[in-house]
Amino acid sequence: MSDVVKLGRFEKISRRVLIDTSKMLKDAKTELFNDVHGKVLEVGAGIGVNVFFLDRPEVTHWTAIEPDLKLASECRRMLSKMGERASVFEGYLHDLDEPPESYDCVIFTTLLCSVPNPDEIVRDAHRLLKPGGKMYLIEHTGDKFGIRAGIQVIAKIPWKLITGCNCRNNPIPSLSQEGLWEEAEGGLKMEPAPLRVKRFSPMLELLKPFVMTTLTKAGPL
């Protein structure tokens, strides 16, 4: 008998979205992760697609957090090429037994759209960063105007049920919590993420636009 855990129908859809989204964000990740280094924590690593960007000498160790056990199993296979320089934690960020200020870098990629308490997860990640450490983020947001915005409003509930993702995501309030980031003083801004789109995909169209930024942990008040 095979020991490979089979994914259900909805899980296969979610996996396909993860892969297609990563391909679309290849240029954005190449640009954003350019200076990621040292001890790195990725929250919501999925199947480990960021191994193609983090498997380099500057990254001394990468801890990939993934609470979905089926995705974590695939993630572990993806990260195996890095040997002892990478590990998968099957659980949630608040369950990670690491002291404060343990990491040089934290990565969120399309994470805040699918967590029940984004404010809390941002604070937890901030606590684990070293002074001057950086958070690297790519998120999708709800469109403001036009046909896509209307479709997102209609599709929000069924899309959430199928994928666990909020297609009307707005990460700015959670990231703008007072005293966390140097860049947030005066209003946090996120830049449009460059997208690589080879073919039309209704699923990916539903998630546009994408934005990205790097945030630096602020010093004591």
Helices (H), 129-216: 146-163, 172-175, 202-205
Q: How confident is the model at residue 4 (pLDDT cuts 50, 70, 90)?
A: very low
Task: Give, in order, the Cα–Cα distances in Å from 2 to each of 6, 7, 47.
Answer: 10, 13, 20
pTM metric for this prediction: 0.88
Q: Is the pLDDT of residue 6 over 50?
A: no
**pLDDT at site 117:** 94
**pLDDT at site 7:** 44
Q: Which of 99-103, 201-205, 215-219 has the lowest mean pLDDT?
A: 201-205
Q: Is the pLDDT of residue 34 over 90?
A: yes
What percent of the chain is modeled with pLDDT above 70? 90
Q: Is the pLDDT of residue 3 over 60?
A: no
Give tens-digit pLDDT for 69-97: 888 999 999 999 999 999 999 999 999 99
Kindly state the average pLDDT of the residues 162-177: 92
Q: Is the pLDDT of residue 23 over 90?
A: no
Residue 204 C-alpha from the chain's centroid? 16
- As a whole number of Å, the end-to-end CA separation of the chain is 59
Kindly state the average pLDDT of the residues 36-48: 96
User: Which tops the pLDDT comparison, 72 or 219?
Assistant: 72
Kindly state the average pLDDT of the residues 176-188: 85
Q: Is the pLDDT of residue 10 over 90?
A: no
Inter-axis angle of helices 9-24 and 146-163, nearest 10: 130
Q: Which domains does the chain have, with CATH numbers?
A: 9-216 (3.40.50.150)
In the chain, the amino acid numbered 155 is A
Q: Determine the Cα–Cα distance for residues 109 and 140; give it in Å rounded to an integer.
A: 9
SS3 11: helix
**pLDDT at site 205:** 85
**pLDDT at site 52:** 93
- Average of per-residue pLDDT values in the chain: 89
